[in-house]
Amino acid sequence: MLELGLRYSLYGSFFSKDKSTNFYKPHSLYGWIYNEGENHIWRVGKKSTVNINSDGFRGIEIDKKLSSKKENYMFIGDSVTFGAQVKDNETFSSIVENYYENKINVFNFGVEGYSTDQIYLVLDNYIKKIKPSHIFYTFVLNDIEELLTDSFYHDCCIWGKPYFDENFRLHKKKFDKKINSRKKTYKQIIKSFLRNNFAIYRILVSIKYNYFYENQCTDNSGRFNPLGLLRFANHDNFMQNANFEDDIKRQKYEKIINQYINQWERFELILLNMQKLAKDNSAKLILINFIEPHDALEQLAAKTEKCSKHELDYDFVKNKLKSITEIYEIPFINPNKNNIYKFQQMNNCTINHTRKNKTLLDGHYTVCGHQFHANQIVNFLESVTE
């Protein structure tokens, strides 16, 4: 009875996990897209209901919105733009629309897992139909991680995806999806079973991480993993200053850094063509830098630095984006750290999902993060109209 009561209080049903969350379907061009209708998803232990239109994007029908003859804004990106953790009216695109008292139309074209190449293809497909005056692309660092590949591991499966080569020639996806065949240890299998079927287990795990893991370096998902944290290293001097135990390890790091440099070059190529596409359609492209948890939470930045055992450069991404956008004359919005801290203090909230002990639970925006992000967009719009 206790288990059933916990399931209903946590998830709104007697199932600990929604068995019908077939949220994605293959798409011939993009790789995957959302299933139309009302979908229920669980993130950070909470249930969210999202409405997907017949085009496979979040929000009401596109044609219905276009019939109102208002100025149109397109919001493109990945799961951050989509608003993976919040309700329909809590996404930053929706907040911007409400700020202007519905005098504008906003269209949320964010899709979880999309890379910059897929984001470009969505823009290319819809820009003539939407005829936007502004296009806001919220950049997240993992947008570049799959730019050189034709597949992406997401949820249960490996999804086929398109990609552009160094000559901006499109290579279409080779398959729809494959069930992930990675072998799991018995420990992983047991944990997965307990997590998916017992609310009591989830609560105990939550207590464990909220109150007992504050000072430990236990995260190998990328936040503390040295290889994952290379994206926050200054590559110009990293190899020179790093102390490697052997040549094999040095070669491994060199390979990863070279791949990362190639990803940035491919991103720059796609962004250049995105800017051309916007100009050709009389639209203004604006790039916004996502607020990484390290920028929003000083405790996390300090802990990551300690756990990574590397000298990190959290400004590397910001400076890289600033340099690229200056070359191609793309307006760039980069939130100021002091403003982020003040906003969180004034509103008693956090930008990203954190635990009680201020360790990271999920890097996506909370409602607080979406509000701050929306404020940056509104401030930009107000500044250019003055």
- Distance, CA of 67 to chain centre: 30
Q: Greater confidence, 286 or 204?
A: 286
pLDDT at 376 exceeding the cut of 50: yes
Q: DSSP readout, 103-168? A: SEEEEEEE-TT--HHHHHHHHHHHHHHH--SEEEEEE-GGGGTTTT-SEEEETTEEEE--EE-TT-
Looking at the DSSP bridge assignments, the partners of residue 284 are 134
pTM of the shown model: 0.88
Q: Greater confidence, 47 or 76?
A: 76
Kind and range of the H or E run holding 33: strand 31-34
Looking at the DSSP bridge assignments, the partners of residue 179 are 157
Confidence of residue 182 (pLDDT cuts 50, 70, 90): low
> How would CATH label the architecture of 16-180+222-385?
3-Layer(aba) Sandwich (3.40)
Torsion on CA atoms 5, 7, 10, 12, rounded to nearest 10: -90
**pLDDT value, residue 379:** 96
Distance CA 111, CA 234 (A): 30
Across the range 165-177, mean pLDDT stands at 94
CB 311 within 8 Å of CB 240:
no
DSSP 8-state class, residue 313: -
| Residue owning tokens 């919005």 | 333
3-state secondary structure of 348: coil
**pLDDT value, residue 228:** 62
CB 121 within 8 Å of CB 172:
no
83: tokens are 């608003």
326: tokens are 């200056």
Across the range 228-248, mean pLDDT stands at 66
64: tokens are 């219905």
Highest mean pLDDT of the ranges 168-177, 209-218, 291-300, 304-313: 168-177
Q: 81 — phi, psi (to 5°)?
A: -65, -40
pLDDT at 214 exceeding the cut of 60: no
**pLDDT value, residue 129:** 97
Domain segments of the chain as ranges: 16-180+222-385
Across the range 70-77, mean pLDDT stands at 97
Q: DSSP readout, 47-99? A: EEEEEE-TTSSBSS-HHHHHTT--EEEEEEESHHHHTTTS-GGGSHHHHHHHH
**pLDDT value, residue 84:** 86
Across the range 28-45, mean pLDDT stands at 86
| pLDDT tens digit sequence for 102-125 | 799 999 999 999 999 999 999 999
Percent of the chain with pLDDT over 90: 54
